[in-house]
């Protein structure tokens, strides 16, 4: 089985984890991804319930035409007290937390929010559902925190290492997992693949 973990398109707000629609650029990213996935023979589609993930999945589904299954446990990590604030505000008011977080010494929970283990334990429920669905190739539109937590847990790394998966996890990037039923084991086949965005430099995060 192939599971394609997809980060949602660029959202229409600079605020931390705001539940808002995609930006025009986000819709463009999703459309380019949908055109790419049209040839993948995908037979399953899942997303979180947050608007940016739902809209990304809906655009993709214009090309793959599958039942869209929405699962709340695929939602982004809870940033707790950081949510609804700008990056500048967070850097100023949560500087001590961010310093501790970047030391990668523990699976630190966001103040009033979740840690990586929390996210893994809830999101793996849907991955297990997918594994037993009888599908062969499934697209899962979710969030950066979820992708990092799932990879860390499935590969068997310590959860405090989750932030080492990409300095910049691109929007609408593809991270492919292969599930081997005979060994009940996941393999990381590819990571943060953005080939569909090449030639559109304005759609990459470092240009925002």
Does pLDDT of 206 surpass 90? no
Rounded to the nearest integer, the mean pLDDT of the chain is 97
| Integer Cα distance of 202 and 118 in angstroms | 34
pLDDT of amino acid 102: 95
Does pLDDT of 208 surpass 80? no
- Per-residue pLDDT of 135-185, as tens digits, reads 999 999 999 999 999 999 999 999 999 999 999 999 999 999 999 999 999
Task: Name the DSSP letter for residue 185.
Answer: E
- Per-residue pLDDT of 12-40, as tens digits, reads 999 999 999 999 999 999 999 999 999 99
pLDDT of amino acid 47: 98
């Amino acid at each position: 089985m192939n599971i394609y973990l997809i980060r949602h398109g660029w959202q229409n707000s600079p605020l931390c984890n705001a539940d808002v629609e995609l930006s025009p650029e986000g819709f463009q990213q999703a459309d380019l991804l949908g055109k790419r996935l049209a040839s993948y023979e995908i037979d399953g589609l899942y997303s979180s319930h947050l608007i940016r993930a739902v809209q990304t999945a809906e655009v993709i589904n214009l090309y793959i035409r599958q039942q869209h299954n929405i699962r709340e446990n695929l939602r982004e990590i809870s940033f707790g007290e950081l949510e609804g604030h700008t990056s500048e505000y967070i850097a100023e008011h949560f500087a001590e937390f961010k310093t501790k977080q970047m030391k990668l010494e523990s699976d630190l929970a966001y103040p009033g929010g979740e840690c990586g283990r929390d996210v893994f334990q809830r999101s793996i429920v849907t991955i297990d559902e997918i594994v037993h669905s009888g599908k062969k190739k499934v697209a899962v539109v979710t969030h950066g925190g979820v992708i990092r937590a799932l990879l860390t847990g499935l590969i068997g790394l310590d959860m405090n290492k989750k932030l080492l998966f990409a300095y910049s996890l691109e929007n609408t990037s593809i991270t492919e997992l292969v599930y081997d039923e005979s060994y009940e084991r996941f393999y990381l086949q590819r990571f943060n693949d953005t080939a569909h965005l090449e030639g559109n430099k304005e759609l990459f995060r470092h240009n925002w």
